[in-house]
């Protein structure tokens, strides 16, 4: 009897290991944790403590050449890329944190070595500034010894191509969704990080990626039934505001 139980348990364990479990990425950190806020340092720490595989965050380059964490295009009615960080000194996130400088955020990330950084560069209107943002970002990530733990993502095709050029050892995923699996491969992407609707609209897309050795990340999958559907699609990563539902 005991032997049968052990055998059954082993089989169960084997089945669980064999069925692909997507890696869980906290979208803008685990910002729903107590005392947290989107793109805050606290949200990153909360994602790490929850046991997420990765934590996603959004980065802008300000007019005075500071890389900062922030999601929206504008702040106080002005585009973030036109603001000086020095003028934002009094700005507070909803949890009371100052607007994080990327360098301060990465110093904290160095203390949590088990979580992957999913670095989204926001699409800047000024192409030259965007290219500078990529260069500054790659340099900072490399100088701080975090390159082996960083994936780059962007809606900006130009920014992605620059990441691929400057950081060929890193994985780069495209967010916007119009490139085919073949185009992603040709351009040197690691895979797609596309909206859920694209995967649902083309159920063969995950296979098309995998056939080419590319990976599939899906966003932003919050509802438990959508999370189950994403797992059934065979994606490699799920980006979610509700990582606690997936991380067990
Ligand atoms: Mg983002």
Q: Identify the CATH number of the domain in which residue 243 sits.
A: 3.20.20.190
Q: Is residue 224 in some structural domain?
A: yes
Task: Provide mean pLDDT across the span 80-101.
Answer: 96
* Higher pLDDT among residues 7 and 105, named by residue: 105
Q: Residue 206 has which token pair? A: 């995950």
User: Are the CB atoms for 82 and 70 separated by under 8 Å?
Assistant: no
CA of 194 to the centre of ligand 1 (A): 12
CA of 10 to the centre of ligand 1 (A): 39
CA of 71 to the centre of ligand 1 (A): 7
Sequence-ordered strand ranges (E) for 92-246: 116-121, 150-154, 171-174, 191-195, 215-219, 237-240
CA of 190 to the centre of ligand 1 (A): 18
Summarize pLDDT for 206-221 with one digit per residue, the tens: 999 999 999 999 999 9
- Is the confidence at residue 248, as pLDDT, over 90? no
φ, ψ of residue 191 to 5 degrees: the values are: 165, -165
CA of 207 to the centre of ligand 1 (A): 25
Domain count, the chain: 1
Model pLDDT, residue 223: 97
For residue 218, what are the domain limits?
24-247
CA of 12 to the centre of ligand 1 (A): 36
Q: Is residue 124 in some structural domain?
A: yes
DSSP 106-123: HHHHTT-TTSEEEEEEP-
Q: Is residue 14 in some structural domain?
A: no
CA of 176 to the centre of ligand 1 (A): 12
CA of 74 to the centre of ligand 1 (A): 15
CA of 220 to the centre of ligand 1 (A): 10
Q: Is residue 59 in some structural domain?
A: yes
Q: Is residue 17 in some structural domain?
A: no
Q: Is residue 11 in some structural domain?
A: no
- Is the confidence at residue 13, as pLDDT, over 60? no
Kindly provide the b/e burial profile for residues 141-150, where b requires at least 16 CB atoms within 10 angstroms of the residue's own CB: bbeeebeebb
Q: Is residue 13 in some structural domain?
A: no
CA of 120 to the centre of ligand 1 (A): 6
Q: Is residue 173 in some structural domain?
A: yes
């Amino acid at each position: 009897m005991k032997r049968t139980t052990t055998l059954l348990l082993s089989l169960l364990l084997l089945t669980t290991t064999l069925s692909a479990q997507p890696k869980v990425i906290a979208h803008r950190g685990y910002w729903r944790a107590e005392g947290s806020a989107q793109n805050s340092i606290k949200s990153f720490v909360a994602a790490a403590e929850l046991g997420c595989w990765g934590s996603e965050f959004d980065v802008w380059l300000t007019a005075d050449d500071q890389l900062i964490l922030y999601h929206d295009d504008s702040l106080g009615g002005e585009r973030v890329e036109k603001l000086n960080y020095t003028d934002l000194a009094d700005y507070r996130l909803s949890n009371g944190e100052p607007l994080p400088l990327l360098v301060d955020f990465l110093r904290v990330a160095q203390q949590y070595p088990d979580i992957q950084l999913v670095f989204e560069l926001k699409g800047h209107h000024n192409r030259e500034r965007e290219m500078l943002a990529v260069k500054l970002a790659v340099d900072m990530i490399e100088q701080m010894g975090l390159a082996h733990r960083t994936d780059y993502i962007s809606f900006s095709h130009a920014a992605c191509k620059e990441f691929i050029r400057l950081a060929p050892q890193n994985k780069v995923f495209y967010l916007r969704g119009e490139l085919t699996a073949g185009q992603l491969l040709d351009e040197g992407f690691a895979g797609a990080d596309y909206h859920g609707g694209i995967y649902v609209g083309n159920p063969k897309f995950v296979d098309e990626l995998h056939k080419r050795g590319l990976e599939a990340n899906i966003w932003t999958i919050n509802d438990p039934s959508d999370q189950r559907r994403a797992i059934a699609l065979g994606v490699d990563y799920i980006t979610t505001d509700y990582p606690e539902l997936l991380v067990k």
